[in-house]
Structure 1
Amino acid sequence: MAGRVTPIAQEFELLVRDAWSPEAQAGYVREFAREQIAGAEAQNEKALGYKPEHQLYIDGTQRPDLSAVTGNSRILVEFEILFDVIARVDEMLKAASPRGTRTKLPGQRYVESHHWFADDREFTDIANPPKAEQYVVLNSQPYTRRLERGWSKQSPQGVYQVVAAMAKRQFGNIAYVGFTYRSFPHGAIGAWSGSASARKMAREVRGGRASLHEEWLTRQPAIIIDPGRG
């Protein structure tokens, strides 16, 4: 995870000799574009550790390759780095998630309980997230807050805090990445918040109005990715 991704917008204007044939002009432009795309892929791979997907547009039309290029073509290449950031954060969370032991976490429940939201709408296709102004990921297991306080020897520094810090260092120039807490009154944490033991804890520890206890009981560690604040 070394290196930091810096978004770069590059524009090139290529001069093509009028004396060349249309085929020669197209070949020259095509080869130049191919070299620039390869260079951008190499730069992204160095920073990300893999090659992100990109979209190719020739004269305003999305194309699968450079075969439609002419000597006068305008070529646009867009790398979907933001969506790759989401995928990488998801991978990092799963890698950092402690697995179950005989005395601690119940098997794979935690690693399988990371939930992603795009503007408060949950989505499951991490490779193709919907367009949104803000993305949030949190875990639905009741013991998630305890993990952030070093409950598991597998993750003594926590999970969400650690991943948020790593992602911020690497992807901070692309989008805002931050650690926070969000209420999630669903799944396992929602079921637990309605139990007698949870209500008793809220009365004794939180106090105040009972109507506010659910929000407090279901507040979970979360990571925010905001592309507008990169």
Structure 2
Amino acid sequence: MARDRIIEVVIARHLSPEARAAKLAAFAKEKLAEAQAAHRARRGTVPPHETIVDHRRGASVDSVKPDGEIVFEFELIRTTLLSIADMLAQASPVLTGEYRRSHILFADGQETTPESAPAAAQEFAFVNVTPYARRIEAGISKAAPEGVYQAVADIAAKRFGNVARVRFTFRSVTSGRAKADRQPAITIIPR
């Protein structure tokens, strides 16, 4: 998991309960805006988040109790997976489009999509199941002379290193689409 950040706030007890709740809500909104700005500056995008107020998911920050708790859970792993999927598509050589359509994501060995991947999975792996994926990785395509998976893994490791451990490897897979041995793969292990 990505590192959690916990901030405890002390608000003067002489204020009314409504004033304490309002100050806590304002402080939380300020910290959320700072976190979103940091994500935008680092990654160029702001990951979606869920707000949990006093253990109620989706509650308004303004509904916090005077001594309550506000949690913002950012969907960092899903953003990472979506970005890697996009990078793979962009880096894919296209003759017929089969290679670009053959990037498959697995979460703990089960085929999934970046949009519906379970955030609690221990390991994610993108694998291309076309029979010629290893040859493309070896640089036979003029459109991808450096290959695809290793180049994308190197970029993703630098970009998302604080969220997950990203590595280039080879994997054998069996999916509803194909069975393939020692195919280029990118593994993503959440921190």
Q: Say yes or no: TM over 0.5.
A: yes
Structure 1 stretches of 4+ moved >3 Å: 185-190
Structure 2 residue aligned with 1:35: 30
Please tell me the root mean square deviation across aligned C-alpha atoms, in Å: 1.8
1:118 aligned onto 2:113: no
Change (3 A) 1:188 1:67: closer
The amino acid of 1:30's aligned partner reads A
Aligned residues between the structures: 189
1:222 CA drift (Å): 0.4
Give 3-state SS (helix, strand or coil) of 2:5's partner.
Answer: coil
Contact 2:77 2:163 in 1 (8 A): yes
Q: CA deviation at 1:185?
A: 4.8
Match of 2:185? 222
Correspondence for 1:61: 56
Q: Deviations over 1:107-147 (max 9, x none)?
A: 111111111111111013x1231231111111111111111
C-alpha distance in structure 2 between counterparts of 1:17 and 1:49, whole Å: 38
Identity percentage over the alignment? Answer: 37
Give yes or no for the alignment of 1:178 onto 2:181. Answer: no
**In the TM superposition, what are the counterparts of 1:1-230 in structure 2 within 5 Å?**
7-100=2-95, 107-124=96-113, 126-130=114-118, 131-185=120-174, 190=179, 218-227=181-190, 230=191
Go from structure 1 to structure 2 and tell me whether the alpha carbon gap of 1:33 and 1:187 turns closer, same or farther (over 3 Å shift).
Answer: closer
SS at match of 1:73: coil
TM-score, L = length of structure 1: 0.76
Question: How far off its partner does 1:91 sit?
Answer: 0.8
Q: Shift of the alpha carbon at 1:47?
A: 1.4
Residue type matched to 2:72 in 1?
Answer: V
Q: In the alignment, residue 91 of structure 1 is paired with which amino acid?
A: D
Q: Which amino acid aligns with 1:108?
A: G
Can you give the 5+ residue segments of structure 1 that lack an aligned partner in the other structure?
1-6, 101-106, 191-216
Higher-Rg structure is: 1
